[in-house]
């Protein structure tokens, strides 16, 4: 399962983390898209994107487009946001071929994710309202945050689905939480206060989150 493309993705991820920490811009421009590109190649090599993996593959493609947009210029922030929104919609479809089970555990998960998302939005809102076209921007961020929260909930719910084994479900849940932490850090660093080496932590949690999500999905769909 661990092919050359997986190790290439990990190597470029390490280069990306070092580049954000050290401020190596040229290396960052290479490493950031290369990490997602090799994750895309890896998932296709192993699964040919069969069955539900097609949606996780599509999510990686949209994530790559979002990475490129956010890396180019601040003016493309909305393009990047839209790309990642489509990525999370793809993850949602991949996780929810069947409706989520209605149990005490899934209800508790929904409540916890909802409370967390609401607290994050309340923290970010004052800073968002200071940017140009603030109402439009706030609407876009709320839509994105809602979709992200649904993705996290869907990943957590795999732990309550009888068709999911423990390890794939745990990897997807952990990956989704790391992705959520990454976006929360990104928003806090952009709209609240600058965090020292904040982009390094954003990229670290983002890449680990992506790896967790797709690895868990691959283990589930190729069994």
pLDDT tens, 179-216?
999 999 999 998 899 888 899 999 999 999 999 999 99
Rounded mean pLDDT of 85-102? 94
Give the separation between CA 103 and CA 81, rounded to whole angstroms. Answer: 33
Instruction: Note whether 185 and 202 are within 8 A (CB).
Output: yes
Give the separation between CA 139 and CA 42, rounded to whole angstroms. Answer: 35
Mean pLDDT, the chain, as a whole number?
A: 94
Of the candidates 13, 7, 22, which has an alpha carbon nearest to the alpha carbon of residue 182? Answer: 13
Does the pLDDT value for residue 30 go beyond 80? Answer: yes
Length of the chain: 223
Instruction: Note whether 222 and 46 are within 8 A (CB).
Output: yes
Domain ranges for the chain? 4-221
Q: How confident is the model over 50-81, as pLDDT tens digits?
A: 989 999 999 999 999 999 998 887 778 889 99
Q: How confident is the model over 112-149, as pLDDT tens digits?
A: 999 999 999 999 999 988 888 778 889 999 999 999 99
């Amino acid at each position: 399962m661990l092919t050359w493309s997986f190790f290439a993705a990990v190597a470029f991820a390490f280069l990306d983390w070092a580049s954000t920490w050290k401020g190596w811009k040229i290396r960052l421009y290479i490493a950031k898209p290369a990490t997602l590109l090799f994750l895309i190649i890896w998932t296709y090599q192993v699964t040919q994107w069969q069955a539900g993996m097609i949606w996780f593959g599509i999510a990686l493609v949209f994530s790559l487009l979002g990475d490129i947009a956010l890396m180019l210029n601040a003016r493309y922030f909305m393009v990047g946001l839209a790309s990642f929104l489509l990525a999370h919609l793809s993850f949602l479809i991949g996780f929810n071929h069947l409706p989520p089970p209605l149990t005490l555990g899934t209800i508790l998960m929904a409540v916890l994710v909802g409370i967390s998302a609401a607290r994050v939005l309340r923290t970010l809102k004052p800073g968002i309202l200071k940017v140009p076209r603030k109402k439009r921007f706030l609407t876009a961020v709320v839509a994105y945050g809602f979709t992200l929260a649904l993705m996290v909930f869907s990943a957590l719910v795999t732990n309550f689905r009888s068709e999911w084994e423990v390890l794939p479900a745990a990897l997807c849940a952990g990956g989704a939480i790391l992705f959520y932490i990454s976006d929360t850090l990104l928003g806090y660093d952009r709209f609240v206060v600058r965090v020292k080496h904040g982009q390094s932590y954003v990229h670290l949690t983002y890449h680990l989150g992506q790896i967790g999500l797709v690895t868990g999905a691959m283990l589930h769909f190729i069994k």
